[in-house]
Chains A and B, each alone.
Chain A
């Protein structure tokens, strides 16, 4: 076969290459990796140095008359192989996909890779949500020291030494006479001497805010407070939020409206609010504020009607006939109301202590226990859990 190619020999070679290629393509489909084999077939016949390409290159030696026919045949051969390859590739891919789709399924029941979400402490979340409600009413957050002087915590709030009202708050004192960190806006009053204590309420922030800025004032102050008391219903530290609104012509009706708006925003639109006369040294008139029970909606009746049914197993199973059992609501002890706030009109004595003219300015103040609200919201029945920070507790509050 040595020697110059003839048109006949070339046509024959093309034909042979085509037949070989097609046969190989056919066989390739049975291989394990048809795509790889098909690629090698393509290279063998159609690659730069492939059989068909070589034949085409050697066409230069042919006469001009012979070229078109051989050229045409070569192109046809290439097209045939290419399209066979394409078809085979499709087939192979189809088969592969088919196999993949028919493989045994993965175990979808295995747990997913854990995403650690973190947790919010219920007291901190509640406090923040309460603040957000008041922010929408135009209140700004204020803060003040937790280690306070007697003046701010008591005197300026109209609670003089030896007043029985001090019995209402058992106070922690610091061991030695540190001055209170207190620089006032007018510079006239430095740190007061006297006993340094842990604030028993957030109300001293009222005093500091009023001493710092002239009216009008509209602030809320969330924070820690301390009372020397520890038992099932008291912790030595707890959280309060104080509110203060001072302006011209602010009335007790405005206090009621503001708290009503808070209650419906925070506890739900059907929440009702009621005021009961009470006594705080720094407000007058003063009020305890109740909201309708968040659990029973104010009805005072328990919603756990199903509880009684378990005892019915003794008889013949005539459960259906047994009336639902309703007892008093545990959250509000059947009263339908929850006491959550103390409030009142700022006492003129407080205005005098901070240098506001009580005939020009009026205002209201309120204070709420955040821990109690958190316990109500999440139905936490053990106060001590709040500050033990047990992971099994914390994990319940996403």
Chain B
């Protein structure tokens, strides 16, 4: 809502503060001023001048040579405007004036005649669109005075962003009322009394309301004999300052009253209404209407329309129709001033994608008491500006009389909510300034009648807010809550948050960059997650958006990995092919029953060089064991021993991964923790990526059930271990995990000797000629440890040999010499 200060002043008895101070005070009372601009800025030098003589230019048909008096001197100006005439008062820019748009007016010769300045139109002055010619300032304009003084130009306009609960602030009077309340001064509301110019000899119009719930009141006022034309400059200026383009005097008046009182009006050409009848009814299926914006609209059975005896002539509360529009030929006008139910207006406006000044106000709740006053005000302005005679008293059909709301405020409650004691008298005074009427009052409470323009104020808490904002939020002290009982938290949220923090540590230690992605993916990306064409996996079945912004963001991602792959694609365009990324975020899935789940995941991606390019590194690329190392580190960071987890390849239920290097991660009890591996070449193709991209995802929920963020100290052996190496040759089908398991499993020889195998570290894997086809050699560094003594070589020898026998027996292993 744009508020023009000269207009606003009209309704206040006291001077306004400086615009910036006014803006601040309004903002801190809840009407946020988003900006202050100047309407009609940059018009210094332009003066009101009178055309004293106007003769045709001998050299040019369309030009006139005018003698113009600017209050001091006379000058000759060549003018091409079609409407220039003798006696007219117009804006003059003498040479040297710089006009809006940075146009410099200079003395120049036009077809042999010297022109000392320029006569101007509203468009040239940057005020409003009007190409009909010079701006006619009217006979009363004072010759010689500065244009901005004559027309209230170069004055501030406040841009107010009224929240949806403040329809009352969508008008100049409404804002003035607010200012009066804030500054404790009084409002001078405009008054209009109807003056019946002629008594109708017969009923001049008929109003029928078929839908009294949707239209509780309809006021119609007829004015006859109007002359349609341009509005006077002061009215055009006010509309333009408030952001509405002047159209013609009658339409301008309806807009003027809208901006003044906040009530939307509509003007019909009465002669174009069949049988001079207004019917407020629902649209019939199949009915169409061409609205004023020249769009033909198919109406819906629940759209409320204003119809004449034949067909719809307006969409109620939203926009008028072209068929009954006020035009140059109009002489009889019917002014509509009604109250339409907000929800219906909103539905209809949304259905037709129409957002008008009118629907904006009705949706938020117009003042149900104002229709008569608004119609009267409009009629008297039309009479003044467009001439004509007011016909009879307004027709006022009022099937649902308005019942004002009553609300009781307990004075103590204000303090309980705000933590700020405000005297009862002050609370009452504030509410009265805002238009509330005191019905009953005692020491503890007051019963108030809510003003009709604030129908949202239905509860005590609403009144407390009113008191708070006018009293000022800055007077509320800053305290801390007195009670701080232990509160019921939400375990899962906190646990995930804490675990996420640990996983970030692990990822950072592995040199990964954290990313944060949109939760969307494209249909192509979804398809690439399917096992083979035609088959569907859970991840290849995404939740689709009904109104996505683009095809690339049409679905909710089913893995976090897809986002990381897209990040890699982006970075490769900038020569960043060595990447280690991770993200903690959700995937979005649904099961056979359609039940949605949003598992939170830790996802990582590695590709390119293992170590950054450097003179100290050899440029080796990452492989499966790098991503596995990250997964193991992540598990360890949250207190899950990776050695207690199993990494196993299972069927082909990870179709986006390469079948030969991918696996599931399962916890100690076989519960699924996640998966990792190299991406499938098909997926790489979809994302335009090279081969050898390694990814992993872990389920936060599963991790958090197994995690131990608070470990228990277990003691440190006080004696040194004995270290022995052991290299065995086994079939290459034997998983290394099996060998390690056998090495670390309890051994009776060891138990007898009070010795344990603390750790078996695999330090070499060899395949090749020396061990033979189908075999590989695994070399371990084994630590023997006792808790009560320093072991000797011979003590461990026996156990070492027992281990070797076990490997030979279980796996057919041979010692490598």
Residues on A facing B (Cβ under 8 Å): 110-111, 113-121, 123-124, 128, 131, 138, 140-143, 145-147, 162-165, 167-168, 172-176, 178-181, 196, 198, 209, 212-214, 216-219, 221-222, 224, 226, 228, 230, 235-237, 239, 245, 247-254, 256-258, 260-261, 273-279, 284-288, 345, 347-348, 362, 386-392, 394-395
Contacts and interface: CB of A to CB of B under 8 A. Distances in A.
A389 B544 contact: no
Contacts of A196: 596
A147 B580 contact: no
B493 A140 contact: yes
Contacts of A239: 516
A256 B477 contact: yes
B631 to A, nearest CB: 15
Contact of B416 (A212, A251, A284, A287): A251
A121 B516 contact: yes
B508 A120 contact: yes
B192 interface: no
A116 B487 contact: no
Given A179-B595, A252-B468, A389-B515, A278 B163 contact: yes
B567 interface: yes
A131 B416 CA distance: 29
Given A285-B469, A387-B517, A219 B598 contact: no
A250 B419 CA distance: 8
Nearest to B485: A216
Most buried by B among A118, A119, A274: A118
A145 B28 CA distance: 36
B628 interface: no
Given A114-B616, A117-B508, A216 B483 contact: yes
Contact of A218 (B363, B473, B487, B585): B487
Given A116-B612, A181-B595, A216-B483, A142 B28 contact: no
Contact of B514 (A118, A143, A362): A118
B488 A217 contact: yes
A178 B596 contact: yes
Contact of A116 (B511, B519, B586): B511
Given A128-B501, A173-B545, A390 B465 contact: no
B487 A216 contact: yes
Interface of B: 27-30, 32, 163-166, 342-343, 346-347, 363-364, 416-420, 459, 461-462, 464-465, 468-469, 473-474, 476-485, 487-490, 492-494, 496-497, 501, 504, 507-520, 543-549, 553, 556, 567, 570-571, 574, 576, 579-581, 584-586, 588, 590, 594-598, 611-612, 614-617
A347 B588 contact: no
Contacts of A145: 596, 598
Contact of A284 (B461, B494, B513, B616): B461
Contacts of B417: 251-252, 285, 345, 362
Contacts of B585: 224
Contacts of A275: 473-474, 476
B363 to A, nearest CB: 5
A146 B543 CA distance: 13
A115 B485 CA distance: 46
Contact of B343 (A162, A167, A260): A162
A118 B509 contact: yes
B553 A236 contact: yes
A222 B500 CA distance: 13
B544 A237 contact: no
A164 B165 CA distance: 9
Given A119-B513, A138-B484, A387-B516, A253 B496 contact: no
A117 B505 CA distance: 10
A227 to B, nearest CB: 10
Contact of B490 (A119, A128, A140): A140
Given A119-B513, A248-B483, 12 more contacts: A141-B489, A141-B494, A198-B545, A209-B490, A213-B490, A228-B549, A236-B553, A249-B416, A250-B483, A251-B418, A287-B473, A389-B516
